[in-house]
Amino acid sequence: MLKPLALTVSTFLLCTAASAATPEQQMMAAAGKVSEARLRADVAKLVSFGTRHTLSSQTDPRRGIGASVRWAEAELKKLGLETLQTCDTVTGRRVPSPTRVCNAVGIQRGTERPNDVVIITGHIDSRVTDVMDATSDAPGANDDGSGTTAVLEAARALRGGKFGGTIVYGVLSGEEQGLLGGKILSDYAKAQGWNVVANLNNDIIGNSCGSDGVCDAKTVRVFSEGPRWQGREALAAAQRSLGGENDSPSRNISRFLDRLAERLPQIGLDVRQVWRNDRFGRGGDHTEFLNAGFPAVRFSVSVEDYDHQHQDLRTENGKKYGDTIDEMDFPYLAKIVRLNVAALMAIANAPPPPAPVAQGAVSTDTTINWAPLAGVPTYKVHWRRTDENNWTKSGGTVTDAVIAPEQPAAGAASNPNRPSNNATMGRVEGAQKQSVLKGIRVDDWVFGVSSVSKDGWESPVASAVPGGAFKPYVAPETR
């Protein structure tokens, strides 16, 4: 049973002032700065733009997408962040003529590993019933004013913080017209050469009751892809032989968030892992990060209210329709934002996970190898039964090892499905870290490794499966 947020902000700040503050105390200190009043004020401001449809005015100072994006960038700039607009001119099925689409972006550079990046996103554009209607009022309070204000409030809560990695705050445009802002920002991340450890996409996170009267203010859904989408063709044969159907980097971000909520019961929120990329037959901006090979998940409410999203403002048979602010639950929204704040801090402070490889076919032991990462003092080995949801066991001794290049026997045909010589698995050679788990048979378990900083910040687990590494998949050269 989760407990309500009980400790005060001042208590958390006193805790973090001490040199021995734990990661949990530091995360709650930041999460405690989230303000329901500011969240409500932000959503009200977003609604005041009338419509934020991607095809609405870009020049009107008070109405339309242009004014709203400029306002969001100004809010990020107030916090002392490096800000910019990432833009592209696009056309498509829902953008019939060339249109400039811009995101407002704030960057909080890391002090130790500035190229390791975690990105929080929400989309600022709104719509009504007709996705091409760019003139009618489209308040978009929950979809996705809630996600936009989550990005802004997270930046406020983490203002002035010094983190090992970089945090990027992305207010995206064009989601309703085809995930345009997500592609623009993921393309920008790729062009910058960022090592994107995670994208936390927040889309519809502000209501706790559904259109059928079902309510749940204690749970947030986190959606994640199972097999890695990017590189899927090249990985398919290896995954069939060696596993990986349930162990993409995104699935491990989901597991990380589930565990994080358990570590921080004061937030009063449980994570329901939903094991599909998004809601049934639908999509969100995180999908474009996945397409680029970056780990990404979607936060969304436990129970959607279909009467108050993608609807014209109207009353029919006594029932109100439309995405209006009065249908939102701001205490619930604040809890989801607090979990995002904690996750951003945790991922930015932890080194990125390594890329482990498991060996052990026809053996009673399992050996896990991985290339060491610069500046990482400690690694943690995890494993779970193949039918278990989350990592249940950890341990093992980590040693240094040197793996010699494999030399197939003279005249022997190479078997591409053998883990020991499977190029797609990513055989590791040279100086390595190694853990040998005695008496644990590789057939029955899934294995993974996390990185731990000198201050105790632990990364998500990277699974030792084909496609498990937290980076875009690149097929290795075959010898």
Write out pLDDT tens, residues 258-293. 999 999 999 999 999 999 999 999 999 999 999 999
pLDDT digits (tens, 9 = 90+) for 24-58: 999 999 999 999 999 999 999 999 999 999 999 99
pLDDT at 407 over 70: no
The whole-number average pLDDT for the span 7-34 is 72
Q: Distance between CA 200 and CA 218 in Å, rounded?
A: 19
Mean pLDDT across the chain: 92
Q: How confident is the model at residue 6 (pLDDT cuts 50, 70, 90)?
A: very low
What's residue 16's pLDDT? 42
Q: Which long-range contacts (CB under 8 A, 24 or more apart) does 387-395 make?
A: 389/255, 389/273, 390/255, 390/258, 390/259, 391/255, 391/259, 391/448, 391/461
Q: In this structure, are strands 270-274 and 113-123 parallel, antiparallel, or unpaired? A: unpaired
What's residue 4's pLDDT? 47
Structure tokens at 203: 């889309």
3 state SS for 96-155: EEEEEEEEEEEEECCCCEEEEEEEEEEECCCCCCCCCCCCCCECCCCCCHHHHHHHHHHH
pLDDT digits (tens, 9 = 90+) for 107-148: 999 999 999 999 999 999 999 999 999 999 999 999 999 999
Q: Which of 55, 56, 72, 74 is nearest to 64 (CA)?
A: 56
The whole-number average pLDDT for the span 394-421 is 66
C-alpha dihedral sign at 373, 379, 428, 242 = negative
Give the type of residue at 24.
E
Cα within 13 Å of Cα(400), Cβ side: 3
- pTM as predicted: 0.92
pLDDT digits (tens, 9 = 90+) for 80-107: 999 999 999 999 999 999 999 999 999 9
The whole-number average pLDDT for the span 354-379 is 96
What's residue 430's pLDDT? 81
What's residue 408's pLDDT? 60
The whole-number average pLDDT for the span 338-363 is 97
Q: In this structure, are strands 398-403 and 357-359 parallel, antiparallel, or unpaired? A: unpaired
Q: How confident is the model at residue 479 (pLDDT cuts 50, 70, 90)?
A: low
pLDDT digits (tens, 9 = 90+) for 221-268: 999 999 999 999 999 999 999 999 999 999 999 999 999 999 999 999
